[in-house]
Structure 1
């Protein structure tokens, strides 16, 4: 079982659930997988970049002709790539990708992206948050993937922002095709309008491009200073409730089972196995990876299961109403509290199949797949559909 957090290298490798109903072929994966591009952006030029880390821990990025390039460690930070690594998808619509982890497939329209390398070497990825980054005002987005000896795992992520709508389609040699349509073409405008209509700090999540039109919509984590104390009252109500009644967490890990806990007089939510959590702050809910939700090497398998389920229920504001997490969770009841993750609510409301990560643990589920991921042990071709921004 692989989760988005696992392929990102987080310590929550056992934290989420498998993609229900799918079996991963046990044979070793091929040496390479084909990545194809279906360009429906309507742009004059579209480029892709594929970069990650090889199994022997080397930085790799494909060159413009689709062949691998292994950047050497530079003598100074922010050294531009020595090779042209912009794949022109209108003329090179398919490339052969070797095994790599923590990887991304970037797409950009009507311009190229600037990539830099720091000593190490370490890739300096384009920034959507730093207005001084040369890529900030360009129209780009990415999908995430890992490809190793066991599996190809790829997902659509809106954890950071919404920009170019993209979809995924995975063909295999025998286990069946998988599709995640992602956001439809032109989704950014309605999402931006809904955030503005929500009012308050939500309107500040819309980033405009040089033409004054929405270029991307950010998750609340990236405007955390505008949301100080946002979840405090809700979290306080949760803590008050579970001081007097049990909260049960189903780890969904075979052989591990369920654990119940209560908030004690010292203010910690403590479970029957001794794992305890201090009261999280708003920023911990947005990030899912700070304060009591920060995971580290050596944490128990149970804690690695508790964290995503608590963080997901807080983002969806179902923790107060449902004391059996995530059993019985109903997507129709997500985000119904007035104080909730409205970014996730709005994004999911535009997804045709409700599948896509709008926060890091958006794959927590009692059964239905909300994750926006494809995975297979016998991958053949991963196709990235690039839809129009507007």
Structure 2
């Protein structure tokens, strides 16, 4: 569910646009209406780093629909008006816990992000359209040399959805968790021992430009690996990196049928894809064309957008989600029935999303949000509870 809300967020303004999707799929029930306006978030710093940590809770209020930030008590503050050029935003930082310590703050009913940075405060600005968030794929972004990361969450009357995300980048390691109504606790997002460095090593060793995703500071500090969509966008990764696989898929389904069952709880709902020229046309059981997709490029595949746009509808969006997952995981040639939800089949082709492959391979539980629709088949790093007692964000070691 959260994939509909946050992994594709590029600005807080996007949260407002996606709010309707949340309410469509998570309508409040009377049993859950008692979710409080704020819940505690326990921040634990196991990073082993000595720099100060700064934390930010930023998003769209689900009470008022306004964009803003929350302080340590969970009190909402709307952003003031922006300008052109963008002007500095108010300092929304919360001092985080020192290494080896914990700190509890409160988070409100938001659709947004929890940022954290090491050593320096992040730079946020306000434009006329709202908050300008860090975009480190741009070499001139003021946050380019800051070590930081973020989690994404939605808290509403139906509960909490909290994830760890690598949709935009792989950086400072962390995990998320929730204490359920029954007192049990679940978490996800931890890397296996040595996993942090192993992801960067895997990208550096992968031929074809994947090493270009790794960003370092002038002092040699490794800051992050950009997601391949951002890498294609800024030229770090060749735009042709997936052409061979995409061409083979198009050739295959010119003479074969791709069968998609987009809803796990609706096995009778099937669509049938065949390629004709540059189009893959999907028909329903009656043989009527319901939607068509142009032959995608790498940017469309990595971002699950543009030629693989996924509107929040009952047909095109679910089909696009399935195609996006199949292309990123390179399962479309080995399985004409999609989605393929068996992790054993993922990333086996030589031409694949090697970033997602490297990230998933180093996660302790195998789960990650390495691309926007990594929740297809429930392979995402997400915790959820309808009546959460407490949320957790743990800053993990850099090893």
TM interval, short-chain normalised: 0.7 to 0.9
- Of 25, 40, 54, 1:47 maps to 54
SS at match of 1:97: strand
- Of 222, 243, 248, 1:237 maps to 248
**Counterpart check, 1:363 vs 2:368:** no
Cα-to-partner distance string for 1:254-308 (whole Å, 9 max, x where unaligned): 45733242425444222223122221112211111111x1134xx7402111111
2:2 alignment counterpart: 3
Residues 168 and 229 of structure 1, relative CA distance in 2, 3 Å threshold: same
Residues 27 and 129 of structure 1, relative CA distance in 2, 3 Å threshold: same
Q: Does the CA contact (< 8 Å) of 1:175 and 1:376 recur in 2?
A: no
1:69 alignment counterpart: 77
Residues 336 and 190 of structure 1, relative CA distance in 2, 3 Å threshold: same
By how many angstroms is 1:108 displaced? 1.0
By how many angstroms is 1:186 displaced? 5.5
Gaps of 5+ in 1: 19-23
User: Greater RCO between the two (CA within 8 Å, min separation 6)?
Assistant: 1
Q: Does the CA contact (< 8 Å) of 1:171 and 1:379 recur in 2?
A: yes
Between 236-245 and 90-99, the greater mean CA deviation after superposition: 90-99
**Counterpart check, 1:117 vs 2:129:** no
By how many angstroms is 1:188 displaced? 3.4
Q: Does the CA contact (< 8 Å) of 2:54 and 2:116 recur in 1?
A: yes
Q: Does the CA contact (< 8 Å) of 1:182 and 1:372 recur in 2?
A: no
2:181 alignment counterpart: 173
Q: Distance in 2 between matches of 1:82 and 1:276?
A: 46
By how many angstroms is 1:30 displaced? 1.7
Q: Distance in 2 between matches of 1:375 and 1:247?
A: 33
Residues 288 and 192 of structure 1, relative CA distance in 2, 3 Å threshold: same
By how many angstroms is 1:384 displaced? 0.3
1:27 alignment counterpart: 32
SS at match of 2:389: strand
Cα-to-partner distance string for 1:332-371 (whole Å, 9 max, x where unaligned): 1211111111111111110011111111111111xxx311
2:12 alignment counterpart: none
1:331 alignment counterpart: 343
Q: Distance in 1 between matches of 2:214 and 2:158?
A: 39
- Of 326, 350, 357, 1:313 maps to 326
Q: Distance in 2 between matches of 1:325 and 1:381?
A: 37
Q: Distance in 1 between matches of 2:19 and 2:371?
A: 15
SS at match of 1:283: helix
**Counterpart check, 1:380 vs 2:389:** yes
**Counterpart check, 1:272 vs 2:283:** yes
Gaps of 5+ in 2: 10-14
2:93 alignment counterpart: 85
Residues 242 and 25 of structure 1, relative CA distance in 2, 3 Å threshold: farther
Cα-to-partner distance string for 1:229-259 (whole Å, 9 max, x where unaligned): 2222222221222222221101116457332
Q: Distance in 1 between matches of 2:305 and 2:255?
A: 27
Number of equivalenced pairs: 373
**Counterpart check, 1:128 vs 2:136:** yes
Taking only aligned residues, the RMSD between alpha carbons, in angstroms, comes to 2.6
By how many angstroms is 1:92 displaced? 7.6
1:98 alignment counterpart: 108
Q: Does the CA contact (< 8 Å) of 1:66 and 1:87 recur in 2?
A: no
By how many angstroms is 1:89 displaced? 2.8
Q: Distance in 1 between matches of 2:102 and 2:76?
A: 15
Between 43-52 and 66-75, the greater mean CA deviation after superposition: 66-75
Between 110-119 and 155-164, the greater mean CA deviation after superposition: 110-119
Normalising by structure 2, report the TM-score. 0.86
